[in-house]
Amino acid sequence: MNLAYLAAYVRQHGISVRILDYETTPYSDADFLARLNDDTPAVVGVSCMTPTIRNGARICSLAKRFSVDIVTVVGGPHANGVPRLTLQEFRCFDYLVYGEGEATLLELCRRIQDGGSDEHINGLVFRAGDEVVQNPRRALIKDLDTIPFPARDLIEYAPQPGHSVRGFSNKILSTEFFTSRGCPVGCNFCAVQTVFGRTVRFRDPSFIEAEIKELVRDYNFKHFVIADDTFTWKQDRAYALCDILGRYGIEGWNCDTRVNAVTKPLLRAMKDSGCKKVCYGVESGSQRILDLVGKKITVEQVERAVHWAKEAGIKHIEGNFIIGVEPSETIEDFEKTRQLVLSLPWTFVAISLIVPYPGTQVYNTMRSKGMLDDDIDWDDFVMFGKAPKWHTEHFSSRDLLRMQKELTRRFYLNPKYILRELVSIRSWTEANYWFSAGFSYLRWYLGLGGYTSG
């Protein structure tokens, strides 16, 4: 959706654009070169997470080999975390966009088209000879409703394996959409603030309804993934959006939110309007750790919010937890997390390991304390599938991985949990989803492949 927003914004101002989505379309050098040959683009831009930055560099290097005249641009969370270092490390990137990208990318495209200077484009990092120059940060767009709907017509929505979000098969045609941008809390492990700072801005409900109409009428989407960091941050607004979502006959929707941003009546309203899943970011069962990382929630609020969602009849309740989320975490803190995971009626839990993403406070802390391995590479910054190349004060890399697998196993292989979820299956689509999810989990647990299906 971030690429689709960028595409819509520059297209609105007369720039011709195409999206290549190599999350869903198998990548090959030959395919990419063929597309370059067909389109002859002036600019190639890539959006990269930390573990995909080398893939982005590979693509831009290939574009440069195809034509030295192609201008290459990188953006995304990694670029925001370490903007200067990214251009210093990867010579194949001509420019880097940091902060909110729409207006900066448009201004850069116009500069490339019409000539002029890079020095006056806020939000841009570029090279001047052997030096890397970082221009001032661009102010955030005050009115999100001035940004057009994402260019979904440039995305191929062919059925893909796996799930759009835990609990929902990709056989159900779904799409993400945003009703807000940003989060004002500022947890020390979260990279969102590297892009938006500690702010949150909201789209007007009438504008959101216009987008929902388009999604149902033009695309026939059946499920919406509301991708806000905290959907219920403003509860009166959440009620208004529930009223809108309930009017359009979709099969369901889901959202992420905070345990201190819901009430029992609001969760009932969400369920009545089609909410099939709510996901809470919890991170730890230790109040000491929650306070240290800046979550601004309590364990009691976690327990209450889960039970409220269960009583409201929301089908899926997910909790996200992070082992080692604070480098001083002890075995006593972890035992409190284990208790919170195993004692509440979650449908899903995601037990991830702390990943010290560049630009976050926890990255700076762990780096300064020598907790990152000397041979660490950007490819290593993943939550699943690899042994971490870092440790915390009390846990080695091996400890962290063992604790992740043990707690995940204790939750998902609990006979009561398995029986409860089997009894709740109501269709062949659900049965197929749970079979695929279980198979994927076993492959991950046995070290045979990635863990992708919840």
- For residue range 403-443, what is the model confidence (pLDDT) as tens digits? 999 999 999 999 998 888 888 877 777 777 777 777 776 67
Q: Residues 286-294: what's their mean pLDDT?
A: 98
Helix, strand, coil percentages (3-state) for the chain, rounded to 5, are 45, 15, 40
Contact 229, 172 (CB under 8 A): no
Start and end residues for every CATH 3.80.30.20 domain found in the chain: 157-445
Report whether pLDDT(453) > 50.
no
pLDDT in tens, 60-80: 999 999 999 999 999 999 999
pLDDT of amino acid 263? 98
CA-CA distance, 184 to 207, in Å (whole number)?
23
CA-CA distance, 266 to 299, in Å (whole number)?
20
Residue 168, by phi and psi: left (phi above 0), alpha (psi -120 to 50) or beta? beta
pLDDT of amino acid 28? 94
Q: Where are the alpha helices (DSSP H) in 48-185?
A: 53-66, 77-81, 83-89, 102-114
Among 278, 51, 5, smallest CA distance to 165 is for: 278
CATH number for the segment(s) 2-134: 3.40.50.280
In sequence order, what are the beta bridge partners of 107? none
pLDDT of amino acid 449? 53
Report whether pLDDT(102) > 60.
yes
CA-CA distance, 306 to 247, in Å (whole number)?
26
CA-CA distance, 290 to 297, in Å (whole number)?
7
What average pLDDT is seen over the chain? 93
Start and end residues for every CATH 3.40.50.280 domain found in the chain: 2-134
Identify the DSSP state of 141.
P
pLDDT of amino acid 433? 74
Work out the pLDDT band at 451, boundaries 50, 70, 90: very low
CA-CA distance, 362 to 353, in Å (whole number)?
13
pLDDT of amino acid 354? 97
Report whether pLDDT(454) > 50.
no
CA-CA distance, 402 to 127, in Å (whole number)?
44
Fold classification of 157-445 is pyruvate-formate lyase- activating enzyme (3.80.30)
Report whether pLDDT(275) > 50.
yes
pLDDT in tens, 334-365: 999 999 999 999 999 999 999 999 999 999 99
Report whether pLDDT(112) > 70.
yes
pLDDT in tens, 14-41: 999 999 988 778 899 999 999 999 999 9
Contact 164, 177 (CB under 8 A): no
Report whether pLDDT(224) > 50.
yes
Please report where in the chains the tokens 């082992």 appear, as a residue: 323
Contacts 24+ apart (CB under 8 A), 13-17: 13/106, 13/110, 15/106, 15/109, 17/151, 17/154
CA-CA distance, 235 to 427, in Å (whole number)?
33
pLDDT in tens, 148-206: 999 999 998 776 665 668 888 777 889 999 999 999 999 999 999 889 989 999 999 99
Work out the pLDDT band at 444, boundaries 50, 70, 90: low
